[in-house]
Amino acid sequence: MNIISAIAGSVGLAAVVFMLGVLARFGRKLGAVTKMRPYYRGYYVAMVCVGLAFMMRLVRASVFWASPQDIPQLLNSPVFYLFLHHIALALGLTLGLGITWHYWSWLLKER
């Protein structure tokens, strides 16, 4: 069951990276029309952070298939996974949310 959830989680993270890429394209076009500063570049930083979390999720999935004596100690460490998966994911999603709010908050004000 851990293998299936690891693969499904990896597909979900790949979808988030794709979504951030789409938002970067929309932000670039909206910024060109409204003459905003290029905040959309922050989406690329967010994509790198979520991409790092995606790669660590794939590495973690490969650990499930390996035998326990073949797993390097570093890959089995929860602290390693905390920094390179959870914190990178939280940072990327927070950055993406902040930039999205900056670009698209005008929609909430319109009636």
pLDDT of residue 1: 57
Helix (H) or strand (E) holding 101: helix 88-104
Helix (H) or strand (E) holding 36: none
CB 87 within 8 A of CB 79: no
pLDDT of residue 86: 93
pLDDT of residue 92: 96
User: For 74, which DSSP code?
Assistant: G
**What distance, in Å, lies between the first and last C-alpha atoms of the chain?**
47
Give 5-17 pLDDT, tens digit per residue: 878 888 999 999 9
Q: Which residue has the tokens 């950055």?
A: 95
For 69, other C-beta atoms within 10 Å of its C-beta total 5
Rounded to an integer, the average pLDDT of 23-32 is: 90
Give 68-96 pLDDT, tens digit per residue: 777 777 777 788 889 889 999 999 999 99
Whole-model pTM: value is 0.85
